[in-house]
């Protein structure tokens, strides 16, 4: 197994704190949350009280003023495999940075304290019916009127959509410019804002994933994040970190699947011997171990680049593509090694298998990742003579 060198002593201490909290506050509720299709507001507040939410926020908001990606990496590694529906990593590293880096002081004064305490769960409304990874193709519109904007449209597949107290909504602000997109802060309870179904999914059963609807919502100009035409650029800039934290989740789940399978093939016996001692089992586990070590090495390299502000869009696409594909292969092989038991929901490998299928889709599909990487190589069909 690869010896990782990315963490320092304070990170290891933090990991132990996270593990103890999870055993006490998270894991005992897993089955209840799966059945409900949603975690509870209490667990968000508990995470906030521990200082786990948006640690980079200023201390005046209850944050730690600590912008070290590795702490959120640890949260994702520890919590994600056993309770993947608690999207703390998305709150911290996908939605939160918009408030941290783009919001005005007045906007942070209004919202950041609740975001840090867990009183306000964040969601971001990008995806729409018919416009998956194509952000330039969104249909939601915002029209400027006097001292406000009028917002109309809908979003789907929105993580944290049921519990979100504040939604960052991407909307077109110029019908003649597909990249003129504004980011609007819409509070829960706003007139004209409604939620549809908590969507039933193949996996991630405790993650609240919802449809959101915006019907003539009057959004005050004070709730526009930055330039009302500059949201596309802001989203593109934040996607590298989104793909990086997603990659952490993918490798962590695959590692957990490997650990559970190693236990199973060591204990399970067939023909008078442990299943793991058969050549096929040994070779499959050896291949999985090798792929996991390669994935961890690439991931940790990308984290180092990110900590130095040097992670490129192409490298973020590479790590997202590779780790999601490794997760798929490893979890599939691990389920196979469980035999019929692997198909039973009572075995965690079954849940890990269904949870893993989304990894090659969200945060940009594998096909889109290959497109980004290919264009970075100069292989852009738009440049053909």
* Helix-then-strand count for the chain, H and E: 12, 10
Helix (H, G, I), strand (E, B) or coil at 270: strand
Task: Give ∠ CA 114-116-119 in degrees, rounded to 5.
Answer: 40
Phi-psi map region of 198: left, alpha, beta (phi>0 left; psi -120 to 50 alpha):
beta
What is the number of other CB atoms lying within 10 angstroms of the CB of residue 200?
8
Q: Which residues contact 52 (CB under 8 A, 6 or more apart)?
A: 18, 21, 75, 88, 92
Token pair, residue 326, equals: 């490794």
β-bridge pairing 209-220 and 181-187: unpaired
Task: Round to whole Å and give the CA distance between 152 and 223.
Answer: 15
Torsion angle of the four alpha carbons 331, 68, 71, 162, in this order, in degrees rounded to the nearest 10: -80
- Whose tokens are 């070590």? That residue is 293
Token pair, residue 298, equals: 């690439």
Sort 75 into a burial class: Cβ within 10 Å, 0-12 / 13-18 / 19+: buried
| Active site (catalytic) residues | 242
Chain-centre distance for alpha carbon 44: 16
Do 215 and 152 form a contact (C-beta atoms < 8 A)?
A: yes
- According to DSSP, the residues that pair with 217 across neighbouring strands are 151
């Amino acid at each position: 197994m690869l010896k990782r060198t990315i963490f320092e002593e304070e990170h290891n201490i933090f990991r132990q704190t996270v593990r103890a909290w999870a055993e006490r506050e998270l894991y005992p509720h897993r089955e209840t949350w799966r059945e409900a299709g949603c975690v509870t507001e209490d667990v968000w507040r508990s995470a906030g009280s521990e200082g786990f939410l948006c640690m980079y926020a200023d201390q005046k908001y209850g944050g730690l003023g600590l912008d070290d990606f590795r702490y959120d990496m640890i949260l994702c590694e520890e919590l994600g495999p056993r309770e993947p529906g608690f999207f703390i990593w998305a709150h911290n590293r996908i939605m939160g940075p918009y408030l941290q880096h783009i919001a005005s002081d007045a906007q942070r004064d209004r919202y950041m304290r609740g975001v840090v305490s867990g009183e306000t769960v964040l969601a971001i409304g990008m995806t729409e019916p018919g416009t998956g990874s194509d952000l330039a193709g969104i249909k939601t519109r915002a029209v400027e009127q006097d001292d406000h904007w009028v917002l109309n449209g809908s979003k789907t597949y929105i993580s944290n959509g049921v519990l979100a107290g504040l939604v960052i909504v991407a909307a077109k602000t110029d019908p003649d410019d597909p990249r003129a997109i504004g980011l609007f802060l819409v509070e829960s309870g706003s007139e004209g804002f409604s939620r549809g179904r908590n969507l039933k999914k193949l996996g991630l059963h405790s993650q609240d994933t919802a449809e959101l609807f915006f019907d003539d919502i009057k959004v005050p100009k004070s709730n526009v994040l930055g330039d009302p035409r500059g949201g596309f650029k802001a989203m593109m800039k934040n996607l590298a970190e989104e793909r990086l934290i997603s990659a952490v989740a993918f490798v962590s789940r695959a590692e957990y699947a490997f650990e559970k399978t190693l236990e199973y093939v060591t204990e399970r016996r067939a023909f008078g011997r442990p299943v793991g001692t058969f050549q096929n089992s040994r070779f499959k586990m050896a291949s999985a171990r090798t792929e996991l070590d390669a994935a961890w090495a690439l991931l940790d390299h990308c984290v180092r680049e990110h900590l130095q502000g040097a992670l490129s869009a192409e490298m973020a696409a590479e790590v997202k593509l590779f780790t999601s594909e490794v997760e798929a292969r490893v979890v599939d092989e691990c389920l196979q090694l469980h035999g019929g038991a692997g198909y039973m929901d009572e075995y965690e490998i079954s849940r890990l298998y269904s949870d893993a299928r989304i990894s090659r889709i969200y945060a940009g599909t594998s096909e889109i990742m290959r497109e980004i990487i290919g264009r970075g190589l100069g292989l852009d069909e738009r440049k053909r003579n």
